[in-house]
Structure 1
Amino acid sequence: MDKRRRDHRGRGTLARVTFDPRQPFLLGRATRAGLPRRAVQSATYRRLLPGVYVDARVKVDGRVEALAALLLVGADAFISHHQAARLYGAVVPDTVVMHASIPGNRHRSRRPELTVHRSARVPTRFRGVPVTTPEDTFLDLAGHLTLVDLVVLGDSLVRRGRTTPDRLVAAAESAGPRLRRATLRAARLVRHGVDSAMETRSRLLVVLAGLPEPEVNVCFWSPDGQLLRRLDLAYRAARLALEYDGRQHALSQAQWESDVARREEFDAEDWRIVVLLAKDIYRTPARTLDRLVAAMRKAGMEVPPLSDEWRRHFPGHATA
């Protein structure tokens, strides 16, 4: 047998047909190109959706997932909701299904692992894929995400340069009456310069407790314009900061040494840094607020009575 016929990755004889296994493909197209069904269903290929595969060596990102979804939906479909956010590189909760949309006059077929929405949105194109605009993606997800997750989405869209807080607010003001209030509130909480979802969550715990909102991404510059240090969240006048330390800090010796040196420098300038870990946000938010309130008072800040709204969004062990 010609060895080229036994090449299961689209090379040799198979290379003469329009079939590239490095892009998502339908099982039927692969078999018509001469690739045995058992080869497609082997470990050589990764299943993305029912009947949709890609070469197992391909890194599956938001674009690969989007192309897979479009193969099942049709030529006039576009990516939306969670899938659109992932395509833009934004942060949304994991889901067990992919999402796409079709024009409102089309029949909406039901497919396993793929939710198809009817939509009047006018899609744009990003990385060659038809997709809802970042602002429309934010609006579409307002009915699916909590307030905190929606602000995380907005912060991450802004961080990636896909939109701005002002554009999200303008879009929210045009939202339908059912979601306008919640969407507008989330949009007004989106900020420039947020580095991570956990920084967003840390800030929102503070804000939803009724405490003064800290400044985001506070930078310190040398006289010649060089960035010296930065803080995640800070109250400049009180010289009080909040810093979220992720798992990568504990695993990186260089990062740990840099953090120690940086905190010593801030100590020398009479700054107080409240360090937050994941457990402080997810497991013990009440204790975290107690720590912050104590630090605020020690720094001479006026502390208003706490709101209970934070408990709905950060349940943790709320009475800890």
Structure 2
Amino acid sequence: MSTGTNSCWRTGRDGPTLDKVRAEEQAGVITRGQAVAEGISADQIRRRLRTGRWQRAFAGVYYTFSGKPTRPAVLWAALLTAGPDAVLSHQTAAELIGLIDRPEPPIHVSVPWQRHVRPIEGVWTHRRHRTPTEASARDPARTGVEDTVVDLTQAAKDVDAAVAWIARACNRRLTTPDRLRMAFSARERLRWREALTAAVADVAAGCHSVLELRYLRDVERPHGLPPGTRQRRRQDRGATTYSDVEYEPFGLVVELDGRAVHEDPGHDRLRDHVSAVRGRITLRFGWADVHRRPCVSAAAVAVLLRRAGWPSSPTRCGPKCRLPG
């Protein structure tokens, strides 16, 4: 890993000695113990710090360069300060595996349960009973994709936020529902186990977001609507589109607004135009339609399905169902 900085090292008859190699492996970061083990005295460390050739990252951990530390250097410094067997985890691991798009403070580090780590400024330390089953071979050490997703679901503020991590990880093709199912099963203690296990199954069926999951669970299933096809791929005049939910025999498409994957504002219009050209009607629901008015939304879908030949009728989801009629 290139640090983008100039490491400081000693030169002998055999060329650069081990502290340069060590520092470069650790993005230009070295611990006091590593430096001393390589023959750098305490006086030499102080001199390098005093002259600005090195910088103090944390107590006993140094950047072996001048200038602003890179993100990899900051992560290495936090990891080395946390000590042996520490791994980057939660949002920080998510950053490294591409589950989130930008760094989110603080840095998250996980250590074995029996270890007590002194508070580290800007670092949140998690103590865990079990070492992650699939730690990455890439440096700096971090939890694997599945363990990271499970960790994030357990730190989520509510079940919807937890389910969102599952949908995002699978939507970005970082893992699969089967792998996540095994990871959840391996955790002895798990909040929202039933809901998360069901969410994994629904993601496997094609739901790509919390809103799609909500539609399936709150609109389609409880009101007895026919099962729609999720994420059907369409190719029309060189344009590839995916419909969120399609009731193909009845020429009806349901699109769900609010998904993070819609980065192009013209994406929804393109899908609607392609549907119109193919003679399909498009209903577009937002979060409020699905979360606050699921019965009303189900009624709208049912009306169009029946007009197109659906031989059945929607059912009431419960005694307080707001389904008309």
Give the TM-score normalised by structure 2: 0.64
Residue 78 of structure 1 deviates from its aligned partner by 1.1
Residue 73 of structure 1 deviates from its aligned partner by 1.0
Shift in CA distance, 262/132, structure 1 to aligned 2, threshold 3 Å: closer
Cα distance in 1 for partners of 2:103, 2:205 equals 24
Aligned partner of 1:127 in structure 2 is 138
2:278 to 251, 269, 272: 269
Residue 219 of structure 1 deviates from its aligned partner by 0.8
Aligned partner of 2:194 in structure 1 is 181
Aligned partner of 2:6 in structure 1 is 10
Aligned partner of 1:313 in structure 2 is none
Q: Which runs of 5+ in 1 are unaligned?
A: 1-7, 42-46, 251-255, 309-320
Aligned partner of 1:142 in structure 2 is 153
Residue 186 of structure 1 deviates from its aligned partner by 3.5
Shift in CA distance, 151/291, structure 1 to aligned 2, threshold 3 Å: same
Whether the aligned pair in 1 keeps the contact of 2:243 and 2:253 (CA below 8 Å) is: no
Q: Does 1:220 align with 2:234?
A: yes
Residue 214 of structure 1 deviates from its aligned partner by 4.6
- Give the 5 Å matches for 1:126-275: 126-145=137-156, 146-177=158-189, 179=191, 180-191=193-204, 200-212=209-221, 214-220=228-234, 228-238=240-250, 239-244=252-257, 248-250=263-265, 256=266, 260=269, 262-275=271-284
Aligned partner of 1:74 in structure 2 is 83
Q: Which runs of 5+ in 2 are unaligned?
A: 36-44, 222-226, 320-325
Residue 37 of structure 1 deviates from its aligned partner by 5.5
Cα distance in 2 for partners of 1:12, 1:67 equals 17
Aligned partner of 2:287 in structure 1 is 281
Aligned partner of 2:322 in structure 1 is none
1:23 to 16, 21, 27: 27
Q: Does 1:109 align with 2:126?
A: no
Cα distance in 2 for partners of 1:82, 1:166 equals 22
Deviation string 1:2-39 (CA, Å, 9 cap, x unpaired) is xxxxxx9527999977356x937479899764585699
- Look up the SS of the partner of 2:175 in the other structure: coil
Shift in CA distance, 263/67, structure 1 to aligned 2, threshold 3 Å: same
Residue 209 of structure 1 deviates from its aligned partner by 1.9
Between structure 1 and structure 2, the one with the greater Rg is 2
Cα distance in 2 for partners of 1:230, 1:91 equals 23
Shift in CA distance, 297/112, structure 1 to aligned 2, threshold 3 Å: farther
- Look up the SS of the partner of 2:120 in the other structure: coil
In the alignment of these two chains, the number of paired residues is 277
Aligned partner of 1:90 in structure 2 is 99
Give the TM-score normalised by structure 1: 0.64
- Look up the SS of the partner of 1:203 in the other structure: helix
Whether the aligned pair in 1 keeps the contact of 2:181 and 2:200 (CA below 8 Å) is: yes
Residue 200 of structure 1 deviates from its aligned partner by 0.4
Instruction: For 1:219, give the aligned amino acid.
Output: R
Instruction: For 2:174, give the aligned amino acid.
Output: R
Deviation string 1:257-316 (CA, Å, 9 cap, x unpaired) is x7545433311323222345xxx32799536874564144223364443579xxxxxxxx
Cα distance in 1 for partners of 2:86, 2:142 equals 9
Residue 203 of structure 1 deviates from its aligned partner by 0.5
Whether the aligned pair in 1 keeps the contact of 2:199 and 2:213 (CA below 8 Å) is: no
Q: Percent identity?
A: 19
Deviation string 1:64-98 (CA, Å, 9 cap, x unpaired) is 76434313212321122232222221149986422
Instruction: For 1:67, give the aligned amino acid.
Output: W
Aligned partner of 2:41 in structure 1 is none
